[in-house]
Amino acid sequence: MCACLAVALTLHISSAHPTFARYYLFTTPFLSYLSAAGLYWVGTQLRDVERPWLPVILVSLLVSLSLAKVLYDNRDDYGWSDLEEITAQVEKVTPRGRTLFANEQIYFLLHRMPPSGHELHDSHKLEFPPERAALLHVIPQSAIDQQIQAGQFDTIESCEDEEWNDARHLGDLYAMEADVGDCAVYWGWKGSAAK
């Protein structure tokens, strides 16, 4: 039953476009039951049926080494202290009531509601017809780019690469810029007096 559920979930999740790796977390409980049963079966095939420690030790070692590799590979990712620093900068330059374009974590830490359609940053990758996008509260990246060019955001916080920022001419559109770690905060839209 677990195998059937894991396969069915995997096929269903794979049909979504775009598909993100985190979607497959739903299969984890079913795969873990199968893994435990498989580990028990391997252990019973060894000589010492009463205490099958060898497979457990090998799997534990493999999981520990995999975790160590992931932690090492992600050592430069930004963490909580980086988010606090970015949030402090955004809060300093964006009074309450001003419009803000930021990542979800920044809205959360500032206790601010994101504008409609900006609740999930990944949703900007989706392109729907305008009627359906409005119904789903999804704003495609092309519409966000138009909003940025029109000066609808008093502050923009971006942890994207420099190419993303340069493609939108954020340095030209905003008078002020602060680099906070790998992120940038732009404020003081040059056309704000004309709004």
Of 42-51, 65-74, 179-188, the poorest mean pLDDT is in 42-51
Residue 44 scores a pLDDT above 80: no
Binned at pLDDT 50, 70 and 90, residue 49 comes out as: low
Instruction: Write out the DSSP string of the chain.
Output: -HHHHHHHHHHHHHTSSS--GGGGGGGHHHHHHHHHHHHHHHHHTSS-SS--HHHHHHHHHHHHHHHHHHHHHTTTS--HHHHHHHHHHHHHH--TTS-EE--HHHHHHHT-PPPTT-S-GGGGG----HHHHHHHT---HHHHHHHHHTT--SEEEE-S-HHHHHHTTHHHHEEEEEEETTEEEEEEETTGGG-
Q: State percent of the chain over pLDDT 70.
A: 94
Q: Could you report the per-residue pLDDT of 138-175, keeping only the tens digit for each?
A: 888 888 889 899 999 999 999 888 888 888 989 889 99
- 14 pLDDT higher than 70: yes
Q: What is the pTM of this model?
A: 0.65
